[in-house]
Structure formats: structure tokens, C-alpha cells
């Protein structure tokens, strides 16, 4: 994990190894829970929960995975006023026991949407597992890999982050040389920066 402070924002750039370790840690925490539940399925919160949910399911020997898409961010360090449910579940989960998987719990607002949604669906019981949680969260996960208050950059959102930061810094009239230096300090390599900036220009 590479940590830095750039333009007044604390960043933590995670590697694939970091994600594997965090997900394995979550699985161990869940398995050691004396209140262990026999879950009917894992519901991954998209987009963040998509990447590592199969790894968690393999650890826990849970065969059924479904996706629930809720959007909470406009851009880097820019939260939407309220999370929006974009893709509901396409199955009947009434009376089921569900493990919810999320990459990060920031304010906890997304989990409140899940709470209300599952209550409406008649879900019998559910727990939330999150790779990372921030201390400011008003609704906490039941299982947490690590608490980190920095702005987290996951390895599967490298180019999205570079494009978003480039747009923000261009709007502040930063020269390209300074933007490249900032991105380098965060931990992106030259190849990633070049590809991300080309993508920003094409968009």
C-alpha cells in the first residue's frame, strides 16, 4: 500500500496483493464468528464488490453470488448527496440469510440504503463484510478488513482515478507537468499515467 498526501488529500494506493490479504482476513473473521450464519448467498455491492467477491465466496464455500448496484460517488473525493440504487436484485430473497460484500464503507450511507431495501424485500438476516471502513462511518460493517481514513484507490480503478484527478486539476489550471508529478507521487507509474491521460483526452 502506497500512502501519500497530494493537493491536500491523503491517498492510499492499494495493490492486488493488498486486496487478496484484506479479503482473506475478512474470510477468517467471518469463519471465526461464534454466531456463524449459513448464508444462502453473497450479494456484492457493485461496482466495488465485484472484483474480489469470487475470492471471498471460494474461501467461505458459498456457491451463489448476486449483484446489487448502488452509486455513491461522482468522482475522486466527491460524494453524491444521496446514494442511488441503480440495479436492484432480480430474484426473490424473502426469508433468506445474506452476506453483503462491499469494498469500502465510507460514510455508511450506502449501507443504510441496503438496510431499507432488504427490509422491504423481507430478508430474514444479513451481515455486511467490507474490505475497508472509515472511522467516520455512521453505519458500520459487521466484518472489516482494515480501517483507513485516506482516499482509497483500488487497483481496478487506476485509469478512472487518473482521469478524474486530471479533470479536477485541469479545472484548477495546473500544468500537465505538475499533474504528472502529482500522479507519480500518489504511486502511479509512467505507463499508467500515459494511458490514463490519453483516456482523459479521448473523453
Question: Do the bridges between strand 9-13 and strand 2-6 make them parallel or antiparallel, or are there none, so unpaired?
Answer: antiparallel
Going from N- to C-terminal start, the domains of the chain cover 11-153, 156-202
To the nearest 10°, the Cα dihedral for 32, 64, 55, 164? Answer: -120
* CATH class of the region 11-153: alpha beta
The full length of the chain comes to 203
To the nearest 10°, the Cα dihedral for 139, 141, 146, 150? Answer: -30
Q: What is the mean pLDDT of residues 170-176?
A: 95
71 confidence band (pLDDT: 50, 70, 90): confident
pLDDT at 84 over 90: no
At 157-169, the pLDDT tens digits run: 999 999 999 999 9
197 confidence band (pLDDT: 50, 70, 90): very high
Predicted confidence at residue 139, as pLDDT, reads: 94
CB 64 within 8 A of CB 44: no
To the nearest 10°, the Cα dihedral for 56, 59, 63, 64? Answer: -20
At 86-120, the pLDDT tens digits run: 899 999 999 999 999 999 999 999 999 999 999 99
29 confidence band (pLDDT: 50, 70, 90): very high
Amino acid at each position: 500500500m502506497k500512502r501519500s498526501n497530494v493537493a491536500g488529500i491523503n491517498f492510499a494506493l492499494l495493490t492486488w496483493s493488498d486486496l487478496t490479504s484484506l479479503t482473506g482476513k475478512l474470510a477468517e473473521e467471518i469463519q471465526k464468528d461464534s454466531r456463524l450464519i449459513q448464508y444462502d448467498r453473497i450479494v456484492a455491492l457493485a461496482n466495488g464488490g465485484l472484483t474480489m467477491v469470487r475470492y471471498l465466496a471460494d474461501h467461505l464455500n458459498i456457491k451463489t453470488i448476486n449483484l446489487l448496484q448502488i452509486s455513491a460517488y461522482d468522482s475522486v473525493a466527491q460524494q453524491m448527496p444521496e446514494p442511488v440504487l441503480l440495479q436492484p436484485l432480480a430474484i426473490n430473497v424473502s426469508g433468506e440469510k445474506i452476506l453483503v460484500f462491499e469494498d469500502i464503507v465510507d460514510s455508511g450511507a450506502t449501507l443504510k440504503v441496503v438496510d431499507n431495501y432488504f427490509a422491504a424485500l423481507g430478508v430474514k438476516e444479513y451481515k455486511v463484510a467490507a474490505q475497508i471502513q472509515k472511522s467516520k462511518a455512521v453505519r458500520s460493517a459487521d466484518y472489516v478488513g482494515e480501517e483507513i481514513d485516506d482516499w482509497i484507490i483500488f487497483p481496478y480503478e487506476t485509469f478512472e482515478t487518473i482521469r478524474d484527478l486530471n479533470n479536477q486539476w485541469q479545472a484548477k489550471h495546473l500544468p500537465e507537468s505538475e499533474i504528472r508529478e502529482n500522479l507519480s507521487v500518489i504511486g502511479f507509474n509512467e505507463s499508467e499515467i500515459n494511458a490514463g491521460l490519453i483516456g482523459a483526452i479521448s473523453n
